[in-house]
Structure 1
């Protein structure tokens, strides 16, 4: 088999469904002569969530969310051999940060989870749709969630 993919980026939301997405990416890496796997989880800045209208410093809360995300990521990757330097927790808009990291790391496949709903926007969800549009490489949407 040719080595079609060499650098795979798995964009996850740290939910239980993330495990399924990670395992699918690991299978693809194995079929592609052990392609390098990287994982990213992106936290949206709290200022975006609250529109910047709250006159308070949200830094400590953002730091707590970052710490929790890193802990959860390590739990999910406990039995998956991905070096720490390939594990990324970023702050920003998920689609933008995924695209930036994909360009920076010369990624040739992004793997994301998608909900199996109806219609193109619902099929992928807003984050997955954002990752798909403007991606610098192939994108694989892994169906997750409960089957209807």
Structure 2
């Protein structure tokens, strides 16, 4: 098995993102790989449908500005240079695949909440990334630990 040379870590900028980035740093460091960071903003029209006669552009711009600031702060804290931080608008799994191919990533690292039942059937970003990726995918289990 060859070493990874470019690792793309996808974060949602939640509290779990640091855990995902920590695992990506470990893999990248062990392989001497370049680490890239991506955050995908889903357009509000995806959530509310295209049939609502409202202009979401002002709200969408505000969301983009806040996410850009949060990604900058997060990237600084992780030691990832600005030129390797990517913020895009679209469906997360589609945009993550696209960026991975664009930069030549050979590993994508994503967080997974380990959903089951109906939540699993409805899908998750990690599941979408796994099933469409042309490179390896590492799903890092995040969120609430079992209380048993």
Using the size of structure 2 for normalisation, the TM-score is: 0.90
Cα pair 1:99 1:134 within 8 Å, conserved: yes
Q: In the alignment, what sits opposite 2:82?
A: 84
Q: In the alignment, what sits opposite 1:110?
A: 108
Q: In the alignment, what sits opposite 2:25?
A: 26
Matching of residue 127 in structure 1 with residue 125 in structure 2 = yes
Matching of residue 49 in structure 1 with residue 47 in structure 2 = yes
Cα pair 1:43 1:90 within 8 Å, conserved: yes
Q: In the alignment, what sits opposite 1:13?
A: 12
Q: How many residues align?
A: 144
Cα pair 2:37 2:86 within 8 Å, conserved: yes
How large is the RMSD of aligned CA atoms in angstroms? 1.8
Q: Which one has the bigger helix percentage? A: 2
Please, which moves more after superposition, 137-146 or 75-84? Answer: 75-84
Cα distance between partner residues in 2 of 1:75 and 1:112:
19
Structure 2 regions of 5+ residues with no counterpart?
none
Cα distance between partner residues in 1 of 2:106 and 2:128:
17
For residues 111-143 of structure 1, give each alpha carbon's deviation from its aligned partner in whole angstroms, at most 9, with x where no partner exists: 000113446x73xx5111000011010000011
Structure 1 regions of 5+ residues with no counterpart?
none
Cα distance between partner residues in 2 of 1:116 and 1:47:
27
Cα distance between partner residues in 2 of 1:43 and 1:78:
20
For residues 4-31 of structure 1, give each alpha carbon's deviation from its aligned partner in whole angstroms, at most 9, with x where no partner exists: 1000000111100000000110111110
